[in-house]
Amino acid sequence: MEKYEKILKYQFDSYCKKVIKHAAYRLLRDNKKRTDNEVSMDLLLDFNRDISIFDFEGEFLLDELLKLDKRSIEILIAYYVYGMKCAEIAKILKTSSQNVSYLKNKAIDRLKIRLMDKKV
């Protein structure tokens, strides 16, 4: 019986090591994807507004985007640029995913209203 328990222990240890190894690989891969596309929020907020590189609509969008509060900008960039889900953003911001979703939708609504006003 002792030999059987030893074998089970080794099998369980091996299984745990495999799970940890694959989790580490997955975390490294996800982190690399994120850092490859990452841009500092300070760079975006201190962006030199050289409008010549944007088309006419892009100019309005950038101006209105930069008028939003910092948290809304972070949420929109994390969601649309990095492709993060609301739950992932919520973990980073230490809030609920419902709150992140609400803030995202509220920011989009504000952008829509402001852009519609500028077009008219």
Residues 30-67: pLDDT tens digits? 887 777 666 665 555 554 444 444 444 566 677 788 88
pLDDT of amino acid 105: 93
- Has this prediction a pTM greater than 0.75? no
Sign (positive/negative) of CA torsion 40, 43, 44, 45? positive
pLDDT of amino acid 51: 46
Q: Share the mean pLDDT of the chain.
A: 79
pLDDT of amino acid 39: 60
pLDDT of amino acid 103: 93
Torsional class of 103: left (φ above 0), alpha (ψ -120 to 50), beta (otherwise)? alpha
State the Cα–Cα distance between residues 110 and 120, nearest whole angstrom: 16
Q: Which two tokens stand for residue 39?
A: 């841009």
Confidence of residue 7 (pLDDT cuts 50, 70, 90): confident
pLDDT of amino acid 25: 83
Residues 73-115: pLDDT tens digits? 889 888 888 888 999 888 888 889 999 999 999 999 988 888 7
